[in-house]
């Protein structure tokens, strides 16, 4: 069983570095006397942990069924074009990244739903998404 403290250590790493590095995995493994593989498998299980650098503003567009039907793909397409990056990538200025494969955010009745950092936006349109990124620029 993996102790909760490994999850806390991974969360601290995310807060400090913005992503989980290979050296962080090794350091945490050593700290909790488990193998790096065990730490890696915990980190890869939870969507909150990422192994690649993130932008200052992380945009997650829900691609769950309700949001997909409500037009999330159009929002995602506009965002990719507007920012010039794909999912899992960071803009050259480091200001934005688009999270990959965002699952249901638990607000299906307000689809499409977008999360920017810790803030949830409901009933988002392509125009509203454009306004949100303009406000963050
Ligand atoms: S499917 Fe998007 S919030 Fe549930």
Most ligand 1 atoms within 8 A of CB, residue of 72, 113, 115, 122 to mutate: 113
Residue-wise pLDDT for 56-106, tens only, equals 999 999 999 999 999 999 999 999 999 999 998 999 999 999 998 898 999
- 101 vs 43 pLDDT, higher one: 43
DSSP reduced 3-state for 50: coil
- Per the CB < 8 A criterion, the answer to whether 136 and 95 are in contact is yes
pTM of the predicted protein model: 0.78
* Ligand 1, pocket-test mutation among 71, 73, 103, 104, most atoms within 8 A of CB: 104
Q: Which fold has domain 57-136?
A: Glutaredoxin (3.40.30)
Q: Looking at the predicted structure, is the pLDDT value of residue 53 above 90?
A: no
Q: Which of 46, 133, 63 shows the shortest CA–CA distance to 100?
A: 63
Closest by CA position to 37, among listed 15, 8, 6: 6
Residue ranges of the chain that CATH labels 3.40.30.10: 57-136
108 touches ligand 1 (CB under 6 Å): yes
Among 34-38, 49-53, 56-60, 79-83, the range scoring the smallest mean pLDDT is 49-53
């Amino acid at each position: 069983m993996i102790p909760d403290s490994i999850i806390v250590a991974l969360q601290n790493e995310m807060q400090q570095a913005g992503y989980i590095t290979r050296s962080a995995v090794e350091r945490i493994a050593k700290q909790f006397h488990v193998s790096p593989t065990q730490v890696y498998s915990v980190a890869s299980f939870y969507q909150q942990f990422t192994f690649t650098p993130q932008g200052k503003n992380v945009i997650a567009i829900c691609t769950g069924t309700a949001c997909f039907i409500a037009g999330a793909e159009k929002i995602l397409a506009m965002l990719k074009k507007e920012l010039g990056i794909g999912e899992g990538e960071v803009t050259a200025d480091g200001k934005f990244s688009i999270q990959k494969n965002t699952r249901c955010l638990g607000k299906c009745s307000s689809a499409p739903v977008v999360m920017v950092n810790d803030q949830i936006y409901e009933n988002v349109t392509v125009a509203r998404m454009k306004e949100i990124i303009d406000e963050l620029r």
